[in-house]
Amino acid sequence: MSATGGAARVHPPVVIGLGPVDPALVTPHLPPGTVFVADPAASDFAVAEGAIVRAAFDVDAELLDRMPLLRILARTGVGVERVDVAAAAERGIEVAVTPGSNSRAVAEGAFALLTALVKRVPESHAFVGGGGWGRDPVPTPGDLFGRTLAVLGFGRIGRIVAGFGAAFGMQVLVHDPFVRSEEYENVALDDAVRRADALTLHLPGGGGELLPIELLRRARPGLVLVNCARADLVSTETISAALAAGVLAGVGLDVFAHEPVASHPLAGDPRVLLSPHTSGLSEGAMRETFRMAAEAVAETLGGRYPTFTRMGA
């Protein structure tokens, strides 16, 4: 394991949190005697050998220069777009990730949004609370059994969502440019959109809009769409147009182009459910992701390469 800087190391080793990190969740997994600092000062940055980095925290070259002894950045999650990975590599700093730590939590969140939309839970709640029961036509719930679920992206999260759909008696289709399913029918994107009653997105972003309005217009009327992956896979403008055209009957979003969201143009639409990017932040998921991050730091401080780096996840 390469060392950085020319300064002498300090003992016991210091590990800092970048962003909100609960010491109770990481300290048990760090080497005995390690000093963990949740709210680091300049003096802590100067001697830190490890850092546990939250998803919303930016790590640039300037910040890395303040940590001359740093050996590892352990990122809670799998995305490293907010970390200057090249600058870290130049300084011999490992960048570790925590793949799979929140996969089930995200899958549960996505399927919860899907189920609530199909069953028209928000509308039914508002109907009863607004005094419409006994006076107006009741919202009619939809069905999961016998309907077609298209899972776009068959990685860790997509596999779990597909299993949920199958357990509810849905016909499951899978679209993934790189992974083939052995359990479910693999289809092209256009075919998935045309045949689906519900779509869930579990693909990485950055490649342009996956579902432009021209493609969504080929869908069956009444399609339900859930995006817990990346906001750029389908734009707010596209969603608004699809809702207005009656192509989409329900939309669940847990990711947004700019976060946090002060206000959202779809917030008042009863067909839309918005979640503050928390589907992967369940109690169990947080325990697991902090455990994995802390263990990556422990491996590095012990002279070993972390199990999951940004290249090997």
User: How big, in percent rounded to 5, are the helix, strand and coil portions of the chain?
Assistant: 35, 15, 50
Would residue 259 show up in a list of annotated catalytic residues for this protein?
yes
The C-alpha atoms of residue 24 and residue 22 are separated, in whole angstroms, by 5
Peptide bond into 12 cis (omega under 30): yes
**What amino acid occupies position 52?**
I
Catalytic annotation, pick one of 71, 277, 288, 299: 277
Would residue 230 show up in a list of annotated catalytic residues for this protein?
yes
Return the SS3 of 34: coil
Catalytic annotation, pick one of 90, 259, 264, 304: 259
Catalytic annotation, pick one of 230, 288, 299, 310: 230
DSSP, res 309: B
b/e string for 168-200 if b means 16 or more Cβ within 10 A?
Answer: bebbbbbbbeeeebeebeebeeeebbeebbbbb
Catalytically active residues, by annotation: 230, 259, 277
